[in-house]
Amino acid sequence: MKKDFLIIVNPKAGKGKAGKYLDVIHREAMKSGVSFDILITSKRGEATGFAAGNLDKYENYIAVGGDGTVNEVINGYDINHENLPTFGVLPLGSGNDFGKFMHGKTSPKEILKKYFYGKFEHKHSDLASAEITEEDNVKIKFKFINALGIGFDSFVAKENLNTKILSGIASYVLAVILSLKKFDGVRANITADGKKILENKNLLLITIGNNKTSGGGFYLNPYAEVDDGLLDVTTVPHKTPLQILRSLPLTLINRTEKVEGFEHRNAKKIFTELLKPYIVHADGEIFSDKAKTVKIELHEKKITLIA
């Protein structure tokens, strides 16, 4: 018989906030009477193994951490497996874009109570697979549920991982400031559902999103809906540091469409060829810093969320 919950915790998420919340999680689960296990990660990628190895043993998974933890757990899902665990998030990381989509401003303790006492709704989310081919022809395959970025946002994501002084949006803003003088654009060809949409264009960013926000609250895909059966593709031409600083506030207040050169499209399959190998991130995790091509395809089957 399946247990109710597998709770996968990244104790380092949110500068240790997730780890400090372990006692609360255990206490609330015990009070509710649900059957559960808690697994704590000790290294990158371990959450994927935990999720992949327990698909037949639990009714629900809860990822405790930020978007990176969400990504790791989601990568443990075999989309073709029957009766997959429903997917929940306790957003306690530095970036919580997908968790905030699921729960809004609900406190972590209230989220736990809703989960453990069955006071939640089932929602659904699209899931995408990506395949990166690097300049040495090494292939990297993974899934993502929130957003994939190439360009300034991936450059900033790498800077953010290297300079974890702050958390949340403040951490991302600091990384933006540090990146302004270093970033010189990314030149790409992009094909969406078999149609070439951009050719040899120098871009500030390419963001392929399932959710509206990424980077801890930036609306880089303002028209995205997680369950519409489409991925949103946002492109913005390269800009000067001053132009980037002027554009940044618009992405924070959901006015990204006002950024000069903003273009938006929908597609189920996206192929990006980078004329110079570049950094690719998904859900805040760096998957390559020398990607030559990126192939993305949306799965037909959706993930069931508890939200």
Task: Tell me the pLDDT tens digit for each residue of 196-239.
Answer: 999 999 999 999 999 999 988 999 999 999 999 999 999 999 99
Domain assignment present for 60: yes
Sheet bearing 58-65, strands edge to edge = 36-40, 3-9, 58-65, 86-91, 303-306, 122-125
Lowest-confidence pick of 54-58, 86-90, 159-163, 285-289: 159-163
pLDDT for the residue numbered 224: 98
Start-to-end CA span in the chain (Å)? 24
110 located within any domain? yes
Whether residue 134 is found in the same domain as residue 38: no
- Boundary (domain end) residue, out of 120, 151, 172: 120
pLDDT beyond 90 at 264: yes
Q: Is the pLDDT of residue 173 over 80?
A: no
**Token output for 166:** 């702050």
Q: What is the CATH number of the domain that holds 81?
A: 3.40.50.10330
Helices H / strands E in the chain, number of each = 9, 15
pLDDT at 94 over 70: yes
Domain tally for the chain? 2
Mean pLDDT of 177-187: 91
Question: Are 206 and 133 in the same domain?
Answer: yes
Please report which confidence band the pLDDT of residue 39 belongs to, taking 50, 70 and 90 as the band edges: very high
297 phi, psi to nearest 5 deg: -140, 135
Output the pLDDT for position 175.
Answer: 81
Output the furthest CA–CA distance in the chain (Å, rounded). Answer: 59
pLDDT at 42 (0 to 100)? 97
Asked if residue 133 has pLDDT above 80, the reply is yes
Distance CA 12, CA 107 (A): 19
pLDDT band for 305, please (50, 70, 90 cuts): very high
Query: 38 near 67, Cβ under 8 Å?
Result: no
Q: What is the pLDDT of residue 215?
A: 84
DSSP bridge partners of 291: 134, 278
Based on the fold, state whether residues 62 and 171 are members of the same structural domain. Answer: no
| Beta-ladder partners of 133 | 139, 293
| Angle formed at CA 169 by CA 168 and CA 170, multiple of 5 degrees | 90
Question: Does residue 167 register a pLDDT over 70?
Answer: no
Please indicate, yes or no, whether residues 142 and 259 belong to a single structural domain of this protein.
yes
Answer yes or no: is 78 within a domain.
yes
pLDDT for residue 164 is more than 80: no
* Shared-domain flag, residues 247 and 294: yes
242 falls within a domain: yes
- Model-wide pTM > 0.95: no
| 50 Cα distance to chain centroid | 19
Residues 93 and 165 in one domain: no
Contact 264, 233 (CB under 8 A): yes
305 lies in a domain? no
Q: What is the mean pLDDT of the chain?
A: 94
Burial of 260 (0-12, 13-18, 19+ CB in 10 A): exposed
Strands 195-209 and 58-65: unpaired
Q: Is the pLDDT of residue 161 over 80?
A: no
176 and 237, same structural domain? yes
Q: Is residue 288 part of a domain?
A: yes
Last residue of a domain, one of 120, 141, 161: 120
Average the pLDDT over 76-83 and give the result. Answer: 94
Print the domain residue range for 211: 128-300
The stretch 281-301 carries a mean pLDDT of 95
Indicate if the alpha-carbon torsion angle 71, 73, 79, 84 is positive or negative: negative
Stretch 41-58: mean pLDDT: 97
